[in-house]
Structure 1
Amino acid sequence: MSVATLVKEESTGYTKHDQLFKQLIHTFFEEFLAAYFPEVHRNIDFQSIKPFSEEVHTDLLEGSTRRLDIVIETKLKGTDTIIIVHVEPQSTTQTDFHDRMFRYFSLLYNKYRKPIIPIAVFSYDESWEKDEYTMRFPFFHVLTFNYMTLHLQKKNWRDYIQSDNPVAAALLSKMGFSNEERIQVKIEFLKMMARMELDPARQRLIYGVFETYLKLNKGEEEELMKEIKQMDDAEKILELPISYEERGIEKGKKIGEQIGKERGEQSGIKKVAREMLKKGLSIEFIAEVTYLEKSEIQRLAKECKENF
């Protein structure tokens, strides 16, 4: 029995938001740590990364059963010490979350017997936050379990706009900003995207996360365009899809068609799909990005598993 099958949830806390965060962090794991946990980033050997995507990953099975979100094995830099990094995105307030983090930690340690770095990512608006679980009696202190936390609403978005970090760009839309700053946040996001020049699949992922949480209305989009046209780097920014909902999907299709022509029908797209499967991304997300049929992606997944 795997660690995953032992974890039961009382409520349907897992949402599409948790899935978005899982895909984002799995794709940009190194960048995620660099942006928000630099002390961990400095001590991790990224050449030894091994995601437990098959065995332990976010999913809903048989009602309320839930698997852990992100569990990655690696080494401490400059040593042979194997460690596990567990990242748990949380999109809704749960006052017993600290208890759940301790249970997850206990299950992982019981299974792998390796040092664990536990990290919680809070993406809700409420201020609730705990970073420890304590078990004590009036006559005896049993233990205190600590975990690292990232509460996005408590972050200042302006602190990240010069970083050229794709995770920070995507999550600008979940950081603390006022309604009056919405347009400026989108402008800075687009400037970051223009500088990073990501490939279409990764660009689509970053846009998808950003626009899930910050979607400008028509009036704001018009004001956005006016401001962009007055900027020095307006031409480069305007080459980007300002909104994937309105322009990006069609552009994505054209990119996919072009890749297919250049690499022999759809062989290039299938290659991208195989790489995304190896990273543990969902079939639904891969279908959305590559425009392949789900049945085709399932076939590719089967081939990857047989060849592994």
Structure 2
Amino acid sequence: MLDFRFFTLELRKQNGRNYIRQDNPIAAALLSKMGCTESERVELKKQFLRMLVRLELDEAKQRLLFGFLETYVKLSDEEERRRRSEVNEMKTKEKDKVMELIISYEQKALEKGREEGVEQGIKQGMKRLVQTMAKKGMSVKDIANVTDLSEEVKQFVEKE
């Protein structure tokens, strides 16, 4: 029989400030789960960005850690403005690197949003086309041949 013994670490009871200055990417990722008050969230994110710059991780690791924190530490628009303002007050070299990091992730998010929007627009356009063709009396088989859609045609015609 195996007997495992281990220590538990209740992240909510930990203070993120104790870990933010460490050069440990796991500590950085877990910061979002550690106890922090509403007023500390802006500072936590700012320090987290500083840590990402300081650690000089590859882009994939940065993206993973950044995404984790973004998912679990949401800032309001006002908090986001405060964070940007505080980042602008950093030393020039550090500020440039942090801003570069932020802008890079914002651009990637916009690109992903655009791609998803285009895909959704194409799908809606195809749906309307299929429904119009069905209204004009074309068979499901003919519509599928013309549009190169198979199962989707049935779904689009049935939803009409």
Q: Which among 73, 78, 81 is matched to residue 219 of structure 1? A: 78
Q: Which among 21, 32, 35 is matched to residue 173 of structure 1? A: 32
Specify which structure has the higher proportion of strand: 1
Task: Tell me the SS of whatever aligns to 2:8.
Answer: strand
Q: Which among 233, 236, 244 is matched to residue 97 of structure 2? A: 236
Q: TM (normalized to structure 1)?
A: 0.33
| Aligned residue number for residue 151 of structure 2 | none
Amino acid at match of 2:51: M
Q: Deviations over 1:90-126 (max 9, x none)?
A: xxxxxxxxxxxxxxxx5xx3xxxxxx7x5xxxxxxxx
Cα distance in 2, alignment partners of residues 157 and 229 from structure 1? 23
Q: Which among 58, 62, 71 is matched to residue 203 of structure 1? A: 62
| Aligned residue number for residue 123 of structure 1 | none
Residues 208 and 247 (structure 1), Cα distance of their counterparts in 2 relative to 1, 3 Å cut: same
Cα distance in 1, alignment partners of residues 50 and 102 from structure 2? 12
Residues 150 and 216 (structure 1), Cα distance of their counterparts in 2 relative to 1, 3 Å cut: same
Amino acid at match of 1:181: E
Residues 210 and 236 (structure 1), Cα distance of their counterparts in 2 relative to 1, 3 Å cut: same
Contact 1:228 1:234 in 2 (8 A): yes
Cα distance in 2, alignment partners of residues 148 and 199 from structure 1? 31
Contact 1:241 1:248 in 2 (8 A): no
Cα distance in 2, alignment partners of residues 251 and 162 from structure 1? 32
Once the 2 structures are TM-superposed, how far is the Cα of residue 249 of structure 1 from its aligned partner?
Answer: 3.6
Once the 2 structures are TM-superposed, how far is the Cα of residue 215 of structure 1 from its aligned partner?
Answer: 1.6
Question: Cα RMSD over matched residues?
Answer: 2.3
Tell me which stretches of 4 or more aligned residues in structure 1 moved more than 6 Å.
none
Q: TM (normalized to structure 2)?
A: 0.61
Residues 207 and 213 (structure 1), Cα distance of their counterparts in 2 relative to 1, 3 Å cut: same
Once the 2 structures are TM-superposed, how far is the Cα of residue 247 of structure 1 from its aligned partner?
Answer: 3.1
Q: How does 1:1-308 map to 2 (within 5 A)?
A: 109=2, 118=4, 146-232=5-91, 233-241=94-102, 244=105, 246-249=106-109
Cα distance in 2, alignment partners of residues 248 and 164 from structure 1? 26
Q: Unpaired runs of 5+ in structure 1?
A: 1-105, 110-115, 119-145, 253-308
Pick the structure with greater CA Rg: 2
Q: Deviations over 1:167-223 (max 9, x none)?
A: 111111111111111100001100000101111111111112111210212111111
Once the 2 structures are TM-superposed, how far is the Cα of residue 147 of structure 1 from its aligned partner?
Answer: 3.0
Amino acid at match of 1:247: Q
Cα distance in 2, alignment partners of residues 186 and 242 from structure 1? 15
Residues 162 and 148 (structure 1), Cα distance of their counterparts in 2 relative to 1, 3 Å cut: same
Amino acid at match of 1:236: K
Once the 2 structures are TM-superposed, how far is the Cα of residue 243 of structure 1 from its aligned partner?
Answer: 8.4
Larger RCO: Structure 1 or Structure 2 (Cα < 8 Å, ≥ 6 residues apart)? Answer: 2
